Structure 1
Amino acid sequence: MMYTEEIPLDPSFINVLSWLRRKSVGYLKDKARIRKEDHKEREILEERKRRILKELSMAYFPEKLNKVFKKASSILDAQKSALQACGYIVFDFPGRTESRLIVGMANDIFGKQVFEVGLSWDPLLNLPYIPASSLKGAFRSYIEMEKKDLASLLGTKEEASSIVFLNAYPINSRYNLLVPEVTTPIYKEQEGKIRETEAEPSPITYLAINKDVAFRIIVGVKLNGKAVYDQLRYLLQDMLKRGVGAKTLLGYGVMELS
């Protein structure tokens, strides 16, 4: 039987979530064992984490992902047909990341135990994705700020929303789909307080979605007419330029409709 370390990672036939969990068992045990002052062992531990990140990034090279992207498109086609069968006018907008994208940082499913930062992840497709709730939440915030007269379309406590968003999946990538990202916080909050005397740079490495990744953004609307399409496209375009996901104030998550 081959050990996990000997199995080359390929998203088209290996469950990446299971691979990561098995790969991380020894790392997490050593992390709990090694003391903070053992700098040499901690550096070795960090190098192991960097290797895991590199393996994941290299496994998501565009040419390796054709089968995975086709599966994602097939599922989106089926969901699109289901919306149409339910009486929705369905708009299928192609979008592309203009900067790196981080979505689901607090998500426990993928990456958080090892990298301290999570990523929204579909364990069956082996792909990161933008949750429908994130898209609708960003759209609602945008509408409430810029187009308050349309806010009722998104529903109230008394009425269901006239607009439905689907999860957005990547379907193409110009570069490696996943890339290592580094954040270096200086302060750590302890018991609700930040102590200046304990300030220390602590690099955190994790995965982000790369720029130049194509997503399908599918929206179902219970309204008619080309005017709705044009208006919805304009609103989505403007919203996506402001960013989706985490760290948008720092320029992350900027997208453009094709």
Structure 2
Amino acid sequence: MYFSYNTNFQFINLYSILQLEGIIMSILRLYFNNKASEKKLDDFENLPIAEIYKNYIIFENNQEQRYYIKDIYNLKKRQIAELLSINYKPNFYELRNATNNTKEILEKLKYSLIDIKIKTSSKTFIGVSTQFGFTIFESGISFDPIFNAPYIPASEIKGILRSLVKEEQDMKLAEKLFGTENNEGILMITDAYPISAEHSIFLPEIITPHYTSEVKQETEVNPNPVILLAIAPGVTFEFLVYYKNQSLDDKEKEIIKNLIFKMSKEGIGAKTTLGFSQFKVSEISWSVGN
């Protein structure tokens, strides 16, 4: 394993580390998916994977050094999820500074700003179809390799807000705020980055699918727990909505405020209908450009 329980993740790039771990997990999954999960590691003694895992994984039957592929695969996923939950913490000071610097630049350019802070109230899944973490957990997460932190893409926030306006059957306002294929809307949005956390940033989440395409009847069900990586409850994200002054009237400003509260309540990300990816608005502040 490339990191341990003593690793300080503020001094390494988590993106690079998990990409390396992902390569090994991909090799492991190759054997796992090829019906080799019941075979033991010594059956592959001529392949690099055998030596890698004899060096890094310790089981109760360590003296015999007979490791089942499926056990290694599941154990490694659990270990990585636990390590991230315990040890990973982004540089919140750097992330807050980045947002403040963006605010200063936009204010100098005479933009009006809405500074929004939202806090996760449940385990949250953002960017499940992205590549980061996918090779390990088979579910991705939006992650910025420069800031070494998870984030909520501006495009996702904008898409949700736009769909909420459409639900109100106000297409004219939707086009004004968010634009059309041919015209740009007046609202612009930044990515949302974590600026604080009550406890961990990440937590493992275990789901147990009971049915697959191969199951034909109830007696064939074989529950298989799957470990996913989620953003923990209590993580505060900050993002900016900005626009040129005089673009919005008071009624439209109130609508935008209500949309932000509604978006947070209904959820941002995946599995919202199951109670995941829920947020609460911590703060909304406005500053008018001059």
* Fold shared, TM-score > 0.5 on shorter chain: yes
How far the C-alpha of 1:202 sits from its partner, in A, is 2.6
When the two structures are aligned, how many residues end up with a matched partner?
A: 246
Q: Which residue, out of 64, 69, 74, partners 2:97?
A: 74
Q: Return the alpha-carbon distance in structure 2 between the equivalents of residues 205 and 127 of structure 1.
A: 20
CA displacement, residues 5-60 of structure 1 (integer Å, 9 cap, x when unaligned): 46843232100111122234434323323414449431232112211111111113
1:53 aligns to 2:73 (yes or no)? no
The 8 Å contact of residues 25 and 135 in structure 2, kept in 1 or not, is answered as: no
Contact 2:151–2:192 (CA<8 Å) still a contact in 1?
yes
Partner of 1:21: 19
Structure number with larger C-alpha Rg: 2
SS in 2 for 1:12: helix
Between the aligned partners of 2:225 and 2:105, the Cα distance in structure 1 is 45
Asked if structure 2 preserves the Cα contact closer than 8 Å seen for 1:105 and 1:246, the reply is yes
- For 2:4 and 2:278, the matched residues in 1 are separated by 37
- 1:210 shift after superposition: 0.8
Name the TM-score, length of structure 1 as normaliser.
0.85
C-alpha RMSD of matched pairs (Å): 2.4
Identity of matched residues, %: 31
Equivalent residue number for residue 183 of structure 2: 159
Deviation at 1:86, TM superposition (A): 4.1
Please state if 1:257 is matched with 2:257.
no
Query: What residue in structure 2 maps to residue 196 of structure 1?
Result: 216
Structure 1 distance, partners of 2:193, 2:3, is 29
Q: In the superposition, relative to structure 1, how do residues 199 and 221 fare at CA in structure 2: closer, same or farther (>3 Å)? A: farther
Query: Given the alignment of the two structures, is residue 94 of structure 1 paired with residue 117 of structure 2, yes or no?
Result: yes
Aligned to 2:156: 134
After superposition, residues 25-36 of structure 1 pair within 5 angstroms as: 25-34=23-32, 35-36=36-37
Give 5+ residue unaligned stretches, structure 1: none
Question: Displacement, 1:185?
Answer: 2.1
Contact 1:170 1:216 in 2 (8 A): yes
> What aligned pairs does 1:162-177 form with structure 2 within 5 A after superposition?
162-177=186-201
TM, length-normalised to structure 2:
0.77
Instruction: State the alpha-carbon separation in 2 of the partners of residues 169 and 89 from structure 1.
Output: 20
C-alpha spacing 1:97/1:147, structure 2 compared with 1 (3 Å):
farther
Letter in 2 for 1:116: E
Change in CA separation of 1:174 and 1:7 when aligned onto 2, cut-off 3 Å: closer
Secondary structure in 2 matching 1:17: helix
Note the 1:31-42 alignment, pairs <5 A.
Answer: 31-34=29-32, 35-38=36-39, 40-42=68-70
Residue among 268, 278, 284 paired with 1:244? 268
1:144 aligns with 2:166: yes
Kept in 2, the 8 Å contact 1:9–1:56? The answer is no
Structure 2 equivalent of residue 12 of structure 1:
10
Cα distance per residue 1:188-224 (max 9 Å; x no partner): 35xxxx6526753232212111111111121112325
Verify: 1:187 aligned to 2:207, yes or no.
no
